[in-house]
Amino acid sequence: MLDKALSYFGLLYQVFAPCLVPELLSANTIDHQQYLGKWYFKAAVSHREADIQTFKGLDNMWFTIEEPVNDTLLLTGHMRIGDNCTEQIWTYKIRPERDDVELEGRPERRTLLWSGKWANCPECIIFQEVEPPLHETDSEDSLGRYLLYGRQSDVDSELVKAFLKNLACYGVLASVRPPQEKEFCT
């Protein structure tokens, strides 16, 4: 019921103060070279807490993007959970007929890339991860979240606030920000 009330408030708010529209970075046409290198996780936002639950235990996370072969992006993530460091590797395929990138092993997941300028952060990028409903009768996607990454480990908190505010305009209110209290894993 609260979700519906917030959605109605969001719609009413849009009438008086329309939401900013982010710029989609079409994965099949952008210059991939400008996005290679190191990125720091800054925030995750979703309609549902369950979609961002995995990020709640993180103290910090950073990853590198490499392009080992054409049309393939390799992301190597370094995550600190408590006192432990974990490394994970994700492989994404760039398909000429699609605007998103395809996560290897999860073809049903769409990962869209958005410009960080939407959060007043030209040195940021936003990943949107979406998975379709689990059952044909479901009306809601089974996964829907936005992830903000910045080039610097110490992105200004005002930029993160702008990201949260812009998504709140669309009724996307559940969020998590890593505290970054411990040193980054290597």
* CATH for 48: 2.40.128.20
Answer yes or no: is 5 within a domain.
no
User: Would you say residue 162 lies in a domain?
Assistant: yes
* Domain assignment present for 186: no
pLDDT attached to residue 4: 46
Q: Considering only CA atoms, give the Rg of the chain.
A: 17
Stated pTM of the model? 0.86
Q: Which two tokens stand for residue 46?
A: 């979703």
Largest CA-CA distance found in the chain, in angstroms, rounded: 48
- DSSP E strands in 30-171: the ranges are 37-46, 58-69, 72-81, 84-94, 101-103, 110-115, 124-131, 143-150
Q: Is 2 among the domain residues?
A: no
Is 181 inside any structural domain?
no
In a domain, 36, yes or no: yes
Question: 124 in a domain, yes or no?
Answer: yes
pLDDT at residue 14, as a whole number: 46
Low-confidence spans in the chain with pLDDT less than 70: 1-17
- Its domain, for residue 31, covers 23-131+141-176
| 15 occurs within a structural domain | no
Please tell me the predicted confidence (pLDDT) of residue 185: 95
Total domain count, the chain: 1
Contact 18/10 with Cβ under 8 angstroms? no
Q: Is 72 exposed, middle or buried (0-12, 13-18, 19+ CB in 10 A)?
A: middle
